[in-house]
RNA sequence: GCCCUCAUCGUCUAGCCAGGUUAGGACACCAGCCUUUCAAGCUGGCGACACGGGUUCGAAUCCCGUUGAGGGUACCA
């Protein structure tokens, strides 16, 4: 066995032909790697559902790599599984990527558009003896597998079924028998350098011949991917860890097809809370869900980028450009991370209060529409949003905060108003306040503050006696921004109106009966 | 079963490759400050090297094993 083992690195990569594209990779977890661009990377989702956060993270990593080294990102839709593919999902995925700010340089290309080329590649392999006809039925193979499994061993096709001799092939094909095409996996161990895991070896004993063309003539995933990666000139394949065991198959195919083998990097899976599989049950799992929840794309991008990568210093909230500048593959983390909704929420709050107001307003639009504020005055809206952005964790909350500024009448919660009912003088005091607001010359922060403070002095009460009911009147809430800011942003008309409604509410609702006699 | 991979606070991570740190930061949580309220902000607290063996004067760091977790094991992708 020993003599026939082949080390892929030494045996199959004779001359660094691609110059700048060639990378020296040797990463035990900590060995240095030098990657140089330009690179050609790809993101190949299957159009079978919404863009999952795992996929988004893969896309982001590819995006960061291509921007940090220069090069291009190819979007390829892997729609070879016609059963499960849905064209609507292609558009969906594209829009999710666009929303995240990831713009492919090329594509989308449909994998299905090139099946003829894929078939031709299979034929070429067949002609060169690198693949062979497989007349075995699935049942037959499965039986062998089951049997082996029972005995506690693994069944390998190439050990169990020798390829049929040429004359037999000719005869059976002529007879119209259906067959699949199976790739003849080269003998020897397969070792490759993974950008995030370092050297990974699959020993010869676990390698097997695999189908590249189904008996209906359709190419399988492995063939299609490799053909398209060759066609696209892909230099770096960065994808999820679930593909790592496909690498030997793919390397075998790249070599058999006479192509240069790209550099691989396998990102760990993203786990849900409690290390469970991330799914709708554990919380949102797709990009559109987060979008609909009011997460800013910058925040999601930033959060996802940091899930499995760090810049090496203590920076966390980083602009796209900062991430690009700091990005290196050697800082990719090999261990799987659990998605932390709390941290994303915090990150989103950071962006909500830190991004330019206009940017926030743009993203807020759909949420404003949801609460009936589709055509609210942008200036007043801006003032309101600016006051509440440090208090909101998502755009939904932020939109809700804007409602009192535009709605005619507010609903007051008797529970929250309890203490105001106990102030018999309050309605009259608020009446005076209304008068003050009506007549104050300039209705701005200083103006309203003066009105409130002067009135408090006149009434010989603390400012808080007026401030708290006013907050309740204008926002139907006990908490919120500085009251003077709130009133000023609300404007004279709305402030006076809400105050008027509030006095009426106070007068119309008798104070709640005494505490239950049980005390 | 077999194969591949991973393993530092509850979570994300820095430190590991080139052994010597009070093992650093962030989220969450708790407390204080600020304050007209609520946030934000600031300050402090809580809290980890999975386990067992080696190697070494010295191990989170190097080696071996165990355990745990994830992925793969298709004429799915």
- Residue of A295, A264, A296 whose CA lies nearest to A65: A264
pLDDT at A261 over 90: yes
Q: Is the CB of A479 under 7 A from strand B?
A: yes
Q: ipTM of this predicted complex?
A: 0.95
Choose the weakest-confidence range: A179-193, A204-218, A269-283, A490-504: A269-283
The pLDDT of residue A284 is 81
Looking up tokens 């049980």, which residue turns up?
A518
Q: How far apart are CA A326 and CA A320, in angstroms?
A: 10
Q: Is the pLDDT of residue A182 over 50?
A: yes
**How many CA within 13 A on the CB side of residue A134?**
26
Gap from A287 CA to B63 C1', in Å?
44
- The answer to whether A34 touches A24, Cβ cutoff 8 Å, is yes
Q: What residues of A act catalytically?
A: 280
What pLDDT sits at residue A443?
A: 95
Q: What is the predicted pLDDT for the residue at A82?
A: 73
For chain A, give the percent of residues with pLDDT over 90.
Answer: 77
* pLDDT recorded at residue A86: 85
Nearest nt to A44, CA vs C1'? B77
Cα dist from A250 to A24, A201, A243, A478, whole Å: 20, 14, 10, 62
Nucleotide nearest to A194 (CA to C1'): B5
Stated pTM of the model: 0.90
pLDDT on residue A137: 84
Asked if strand B comes closer than 7 Å to A145 Cβ, the answer is yes
CA of A472 to C1' of B46 (A): 37
Backbone φ and ψ for A155, nearest 5 degrees, come out as -90, 135
A273, pLDDT greater than 90: no
For the segment A123-138, the average pLDDT, to the nearest whole number, is 93
Give pLDDT, residue A73: 98
- Note whether A363 and A392 are within 8 A (CB): no
At A11 the pLDDT is: 31
Nucleotides of B under 7 A from a protein CB: 1-8, 10-18, 24-28, 36-41, 62, 69-77
Q: How far apart are the first and last CA of chain A?
A: 89
Mean pLDDT of chain A: 89
Tell whether the model's pLDDT for residue A15 goes beyond 80: no
- pLDDT at site A501: 96
Pull the structure tokens for residue A338: 């659990």
Q: Which has the higher per-residue pLDDT, A465 or A29?
A: A465
CA distance A480 to A264: 51
DSSP-assigned letter for residue A133? E
Span A21-73, pLDDT tens digits: 223 333 443 334 468 879 999 999 999 889 999 999 999 999 999 999 999 99
Smallest CA–C1' distance to B6, residue: A335
Q: Could you give the percent of chain A with pLDDT greater than 70?
A: 92
Cα–Cα dist A370/A74, whole Å: 35
């Amino acid at each position: 066995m020993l003599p026939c083992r082949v080390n892929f690195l030494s045996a199959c990569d004779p001359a660094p032909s691609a110059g700048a594209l060639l990378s020296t990779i040797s990463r035990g977890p900590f060995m240095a790697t030098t990657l140089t661009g330009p690179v050609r990377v790809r993101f190949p989702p299957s159009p079978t559902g919404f863009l999952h956060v795992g996929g988004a993270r893969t896309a982001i990593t590819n995006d960061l790599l291509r921007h940090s080294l220069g090069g291009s990102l190819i979007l390829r839709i892997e729609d070879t599984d016609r059963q499960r593919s849905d064209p609507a999902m292609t558009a969906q995925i594209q829009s999710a990527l666009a929303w995240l700010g990831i713009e492919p340089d090329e594509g989308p290309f449909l994998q299905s558009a090139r099946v003829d080329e894929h078939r031709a590649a299979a034929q070429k392999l067949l002609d060169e003896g690198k693949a062979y006809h497989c007349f075995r039925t699935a049942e037959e193979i499965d039986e062998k597998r089951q049997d082996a499994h029972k005995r506690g061993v693994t069944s390998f096709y190439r050990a169990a079924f020798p390829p049929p001799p040429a004359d037999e092939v000719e005869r059976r094909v002529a007879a119209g028998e259906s067959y699949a095409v199976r790739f003849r996996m080269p003998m020897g161990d397969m070792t490759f350098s993974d950008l995030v895991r370092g050297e990974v070896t699959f020993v010869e004993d676990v390698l097997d011949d695999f189908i590249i063309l189904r008996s209906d003539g359709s190419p399988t995933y492995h063939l299609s991917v490799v053909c398209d990666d060759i066609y696209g000139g892909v230099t770096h394949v960065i994808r999820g860890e679930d593909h790592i065991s496909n690498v030997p198959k793919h390397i075998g195919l790249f070599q058999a097809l006479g192509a240069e083998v790209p550099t691989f990097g396998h990102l760990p899976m993203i786990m849900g809370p409690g290390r469970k599989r991330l799914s709708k049950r554990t919380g949102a799992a797709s990009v559109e869900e987060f979008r609909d929840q009011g997460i800013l794309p910058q925040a999601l991008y930033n959060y996802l980028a940091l899930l499995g990568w760090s810049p090496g210093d203590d920076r966390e909230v980083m602009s796209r450009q900062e991430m690009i500048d700091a990005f290196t593959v050697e800082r990719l983390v090999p261990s799987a991370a659990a998605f932390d909704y709390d941290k994303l929420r915090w990150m989103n709050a950071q962006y909500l209060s830190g991004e330019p107001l206009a940017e926030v307003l743009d993203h807020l639009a759909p949420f404003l529409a949801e609460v009936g504020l589709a055509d609210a005055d942008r200036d007043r809206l801006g003032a309101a949003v600016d006051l509440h952005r440090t208090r909101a964790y998502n755009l939904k909350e932020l939109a809700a905060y804007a409602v009192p500024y535009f709605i005619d009448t507010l609903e007051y919660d008797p529970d929250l108003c309890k203490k105001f009912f106990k102030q018999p003088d309050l309605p009259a005091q608020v009446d005076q306040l209304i008068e003050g607001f009506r007549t104050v010359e300039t209705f701005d922060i200083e103006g309203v503050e003066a009105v409130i403070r002067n009135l408090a002095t006149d009434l010989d009460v603390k400012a808080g006696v007026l401030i708290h009911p006013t907050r309740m009147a204008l926002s139907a809430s006990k908490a919120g921004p500085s009251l003077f800011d709130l009133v000023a942003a609300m404007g004279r008309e709305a402030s006076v109106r809400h105050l008027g409604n509030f006095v009426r509410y106070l007068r119309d609702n008798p104070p709640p009966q005494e505490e239950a006699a049980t005390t």
